[in-house]
Amino acid sequence: MTAEQTLALIKPDAMEKKLQGKIIDDILNAGFTIKTMKMLQLSKEKARKFYAVHQGKEFYAPLVAFMTSGPVIALLLEKVNAIEDYRNLMGKTDPAEAVKGSLREKYGESTRRNAVHGSDSPENAKKEIAFFF
């Protein structure tokens, strides 16, 4: 089987709590290869563009404000079945509903402050990887 790539983001809430090392360990222990990664501060313009699909929704402005509130780490992950496997590792958006042991269950605190982001489809993975790398 061919390896697949996906984007992962470690969000500002996890960075603020200094959880990036634990999250990266969990990703590596789940069998992912980190092809490249970088830490950056999203500008409002870049965050608006990244989350443009949510423009007009009530959570759009607070999401942009949150994602620009501190640095993020963008990771290009690779593994067979990377997109689905990383989504399973992340857990549900709401940490209270996330499977025990998932990143969001362990490190998230709310639907917005949920520690990590991951691509949800091959099409979005391509777009998101290109956006950051």
Please write the tens of the pLDDT for every residue from 76-121. 999 999 999 999 999 999 999 999 999 999 999 999 899 999 999 9
Q: What is the mean pLDDT of residues 32-56?
A: 96
Choose the catalytic residue: 11, 48, 113, 117: 117
Closest CA to 112 of 67, 56, 81: 67
Q: What is the mean pLDDT of residues 48-66?
A: 94
Are 108 and 95 a contacting pair, CB within 8 Å? yes
pLDDT, residue 14, reads: 98
Query: Domain range holding 86?
Result: 4-132
Percentage, residues of the chain above pLDDT 90: 97
Q: What is the DSSP letter of 70?
A: S
Give me the pLDDT at residue 109, please. 95
Q: Look up residue 51 and give its two tokens.
A: 């989350």
**3-class state of residue 23 by DSSP:** helix
- Determine the pLDDT at residue 52: 92
- Which CATH number characterizes residue 28's domain? 3.30.70.141
Tell me if residue 54 is catalytic.
Answer: no
Q: What is the pTM of this model?
A: 0.95
**Predicted local confidence at residue 1, as pLDDT:** 80
- Look at residue 71 and tell me whether its pLDDT is greater than 90: yes
- Total count of domains within the chain: 1
Q: What are phi and psi of 25, to 5 degrees?
A: -60, -45
The amino acid present at 72, given as its one-letter code, is: V
Q: Which residues contact 39 (CB under 8 A, 6 or more apart)?
A: 71, 72, 73, 74
Say if residues 68 and 43 touch (Cβ distance below 8 Å).
Answer: yes
Please answer whether residues 93 and 101 qualify as being in contact, where contact means their C-beta atoms are separated by less than 8 angstroms: no
* Cα dihedral: 47, 51, 122, 31 (round 10): 50
